[in-house]
Amino acid sequence: MKTNKQKIILFGASGMVGAAVLSECLNEPSVREVLSVGRRECGMNHPKLKELLVPDLFELEGFSNKLKGFDACFFTVGVSAAGLSEAEYAKYNHDLPVKVAKLLLKLNKNMSFCYVSGGGTDSTEKGPVMWARVKGRTENELMKMRFKSAVMFRLGALQPLKGFKSRTRLYRVMYDVLGPILPMMGKLFPGWVLTPRSLGQAMIRAARGESSKAILEPKDIHELGRGNT
């Protein structure tokens, strides 16, 4: 199937998930341009890649002229719930993605939006787990917006991009311990431990409208990343 080459905005490219997705986008022939938007440089160089450094992502309106003409947004920004109140956690895992999505939809009427959520997210918004409630509220609001398609990626475990080190101490320690066995776990449990390629390909395909589901659990992400819908 022939498709027009995509122009993608990626939020969070300096993080572990964003770096994995960016790497796959840059290697994918059907993607012609990626604009990385964030507070810091992503650390990659490529002819397809452009960067927009924004001191405060909550003040993105001032950069509107640079955010037009895109086909899809991949939003991978988020913070850990450790030590945060619900209001503090919601600021970055609900308020920010929803605000960004509203602005981008206003600027790009035919845009697709892919949001990285998490396995165990609570769609009812009423469960006992704080982070799951917040992420569920975010998912629900994004899916109500008039995007060409809005797909929620409930990510489980991810093999980090080779050489990548998370800035979050908890994740860094966890991956230092689990890193050596993640490739083996990925082969044994491909529906749970994803590779950068499977996640990136799943997002690219979802943005093209190739996902039959609006909410993708880890196994669904794996299948879509392989080209199965």
Superfamily classification of domain 6-225:
NAD(P)-binding Rossmann-like Domain (3.40.50.720)
Backbone phi and psi for residue 227, each to the nearest 5 degrees, phi listed first: 100, 10
Taken in order 10, 13, 17, 20, is the CA torsion positive or negative?
positive
Contact of 134 with 90, CB cutoff 8 Å: yes
Identify the CA nearest to 21 among candidates 164, 142, 136, 119: 164
Looking at residue 82, its pLDDT comes to 87
Looking at residue 190, its pLDDT comes to 59
Confidence (pTM): 0.88
Looking at residue 181, its pLDDT comes to 57
Mean pLDDT by 10-residue block, N- to C-terminus, for the chain (229 residues)? 80 93 96 96 95 97 97 95 95 98 97 96 96 98 98 88 57 51 57 85 97 95 83
Contact of 20 with 161, CB cutoff 8 Å: yes
Looking at residue 65, its pLDDT comes to 97
Separation CA 12–CA 21 (nearest Å): 10
Task: Quickly count: other Cβ atoms within 10 Å of residue 88's Cβ.
Answer: 12
